[in-house]
Amino acid sequence: MNGQERPVIIAGNWKMHKTRAEAVELSKTIRNAVAGEKDLPVVVLCPPFTSLEAALSSCEKSEIQIGAQNMEHRDSGAFTGEVSPLMLKDLGVSYVIIGHSERRQLFGETNTSVNLKFKAALKHKLVAIVCVGETLDERESNLTDAVVSRQVAAALDDVDAADLKTLVIAYEPVWAIGTGKVCEADEANRVCKLIRATVGNLYGNKSLSQSIPILYGGSVKPSNIDEQLAQSDIDGSLVGGASLNAEEFLALVKSGQKKVGLAASRS
């Protein structure tokens, strides 16, 4: 399997932005703009919890998928302020971001909690976008490969190969998120290849690793996405700031369409 046979995914992480009314306006604008379009990538919008239902309603009967930005791994219990996978599934959410660097850095997310949440996502048939990536200190200490490989291995610990069919991995170098700094496309691709090789080695199955979509995230914008998507092992984008503006996000979707269309013309 080559890169063209994996799905192309453009996912927008709205983070802590957009009220319910603003979420309706943005999601409807995106829905209307992509309606009837050919060669669409998988488009995923990830609003805050408070706007999930509004986004789901706004994108009903469209091809747009809705995802959550985080979740608790347990189904229920005395966990004040948390939202369970059972609740997300009940809403109609289909994707969930797990282990975003902001969750790891600011809220104590660990490799162990990422693994627990990934298993919970599998249990409830949610598509997990599992995030991995190194800090600036780790990169400058030449630890990128070791850190990223360790994060991938920990996320997949005690997970059967058959359960990786819905896995999406996002390489998000921490130093490039929200900073305006972008990992050069060829270096981002090198790390994505490393991620793929790590999965292949863990399961002794190279063809399995070739089937997993790997996204790049970190200051993605219309001016740099084409170079990123032209790489062999980058299958889409997990977008932060640029996903908050309909015009910018739709430009990213358009780039995804070009990659899908190119793959279709080669098949």
Residue 26 belongs to what H/E stretch?
helix 20-34
Length of the chain: 267
Evaluate whether 68 touches 96 at the Cβ level (below 8 Å).
yes
Q: SS3 letters for 190-206?
A: HHHHHHHHHHHHHHCCH
Q: Which of 133, 55, 131 is nearest to 94 (CA)?
A: 55
Question: What residues are labeled active site?
Answer: 100, 172
Residue 187: Cβ within 10 Å count: 14
Encoded tokens for 27:
């999601």
The one-letter amino acid at 61: K
Place of tokens 């190279």: 206
